[in-house]
């Protein structure tokens, strides 16, 4: 059960009793921002709990490949963020590409907060709400005519066995990241592995990063389920370490309150925002977004996740906001 921990700062002993080893697996559904924030938090925690102890960061990457087999934003994570910034606060950094030591120079003054700023160079990141166009993760999709096999997707994700990316259950289905009807490709990078229930719940939208952000959110939201069948002793051990083991009581709720909850927890809407939105303008825009940038799946008429995305994009359009949506880039769901 504990085979694939999301992240942990573990006080171990890679080099001497006082060393701290930090492991992070950049999941296929994490983007640069969310991953960098999480790693930063782990290093900050390690610095706080064991100041001065030599820190080693082990970083692994799931998926995140470009069309020629190199890394996508995972490369920036390893190079710019890992080597360029974080290494000064570490003793050693180990990634699939590089293993570097910072000989005896580890700094112990990591700031309280990591601020990620977007370059003002017109580089496109996140979904452009002003255009409602397709935003896939793969820019040069392979010219395939059939879905990649389960085996190919499993291999791409670096998993031993196919399992739902949200709840790890089986059997799994091959889920399009961007639906074919919206222009999504048959490239292996346009597929996720989800169980039937999570597949039916995932958004059918024109933006790949929003799909992955939803998987990330659902994984955090539903992860307590993973420990349900674990031995009581292990559950106790996890509880003591602050892992949420018991599933939250999710009361029955109406469709719109479910959408509202997702707007708050995934897209970062505040109560004040719900009050200040001009609903008439918003509804018009919302339907325009729904018609042109979302799809339907499983003959489900309305999906909470698709509606929440469309409301968020519509709100940004009405407000004339540019740049990536908060749900995709800046907002971090808290475990």
Question: Which residue among 137, 198, 303, 317 contacts Zn ion (CB under 5 A)?
Answer: 198
Q: Does 164 bind Zn ion (CB under 5 A)?
A: yes
Give min distance, CB of 158 to Zn ion, in A.
18
Are 147 and 191 contacting, i.e. CB atoms less than 8 angstroms apart? yes
- Which of 43, 57, 166, 328 is in the footprint of Zn ion by CB under 5 A? 166
Our CB check for Zn ion shows the closer of 172 and 290 to be 172
Q: Quick one: 43 or 193, whose CB is closer to Zn ion? A: 193
In 3D, which of 12, 34, 19 has the Cα closest to residue 90? Answer: 19
Measured distance CA(163)–CA(185) in Å, rounded: 22
Number of residues engaging Zn ion in binding (CB under 5 A): 5
Residue 175 as a binder of Zn ion (CB under 5 A): the answer is no
Give one DSSP letter per residue of 206-256, joined into a string: SBHHHHHHHHHHHHHHHGGGGGTTS-HHHHHHHHHTT---SPP------HH
Q: Does 9 bind Zn ion (CB under 5 A)?
A: no
Tell me how far apart the alpha carbons of residues 209 and 177 are, in angstroms, rounded to a whole number: 9
User: Among the candidate windows 39-47, 122-130, 191-199, 309-317, which touches Zn ion by CB under 5 A?
Assistant: 191-199
How near is the Cβ of 63 to Zn ion at its closest, in Å? 17
Q: Which two tokens stand for residue 40?
A: 């930063």
Residue closer to Zn ion (CB basis): 222 or 312: 222
State which residue, 42 or 167, has the beta carbon closest to Zn ion.
Answer: 167
Question: Does 199 sit near Zn ion (CB under 5 A)?
Answer: no
**Are 92 and 102 in contact, with CB atoms under 8 Å apart?**
yes
Q: Does 167 bind Zn ion (CB under 5 A)?
A: yes
| Cβ neighbours for 205, distance < 8 A, ≥ 6 positions apart | 178, 182, 211, 293, 294, 295, 306, 309, 310
Kindly tell me which of 196 and 261 has the beta carbon lying closer to Zn ion.
196
- Residues facing 57 on adjacent strands: 22, 93
157 or 313, CB closer to Zn ion? 157
Minimum gap (Å) between residue 201 Cβ and Zn ion: 9
Should residue 195 be labelled a site residue for Zn ion when binding is judged by CB under 5 A?
yes
- In angstroms, what is the minimal distance from the CB of 226 to Zn ion? 10
Retrieve residue 271's tokens. 């109560």
Positions in the binding site for Zn ion (CB under 5 A)? 164, 166-167, 195, 198
């Amino acid at each position: 059960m504990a085979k694939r921990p999301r992240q942990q700062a573990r006080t171990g002993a890679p080099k001497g009793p006082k060393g701290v080893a930090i492991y992070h697996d950049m999941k296929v559904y994490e983007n640069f921002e969310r991953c960098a924030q999480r790693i930063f938090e782990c290093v900050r925690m390690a610095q706080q709990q064991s100041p001065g102890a030599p820190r080693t960061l082990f970083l692994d990457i799931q998926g995140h490949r470009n069309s020629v087999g190199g890394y996508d934003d995972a490369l920036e994570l390893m190079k710019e963020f890992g080597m360029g910034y974080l290494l000064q606060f570490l003793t050693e950094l180990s990634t699939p590409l590089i293993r570097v030591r910072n000989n005896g120079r580890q700094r112990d003054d990591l700031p309280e907060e990591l601020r990620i700023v977007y370059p003002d160079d017109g580089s496109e990141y996140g979904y452009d709400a002003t255009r409602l166009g397709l935003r896939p993760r793969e820019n040069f999709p392979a010219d395939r005519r059939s879905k990649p096999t389960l085996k190919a997707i499993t291999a791409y994700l670096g998993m031993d066995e196919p399992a739902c990316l949200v709840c790890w259950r089986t059997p799994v289905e091959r889920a399009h990241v961007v639906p074919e009807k919206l222009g999504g490709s048959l490239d292996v990078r346009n597929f996720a592995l989800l169980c039937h229930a999570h597949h039916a719940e995932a958004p059918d939208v024109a933006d790949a990063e929003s799909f992955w952000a939803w998987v990330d959110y659902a994984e955090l939201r539903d992860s307590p389920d993973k420990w349900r069948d674990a031995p009581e002793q292990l559950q106790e051990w996890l509880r003591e370490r602050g892992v949420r083991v018991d599933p939250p009581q999710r009361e029955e709720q109406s469709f719109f309150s479910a959408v509202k909850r997702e707007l708050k927890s995934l897209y970062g809407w505040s109560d004040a925002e719900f009050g200040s939105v001009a609903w008439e303008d918003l509804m018009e825009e919302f339907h325009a977004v729904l018609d042109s940038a979302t799809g339907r799946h499983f003959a489900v008429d309305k999906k909470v996740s698709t509606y929440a995305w469309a409301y968020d994009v519509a709100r940004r359009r009405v407000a004339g906001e540019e740049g990536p949506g908060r749900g995709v880039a800046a907002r971090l769901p808290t475990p």
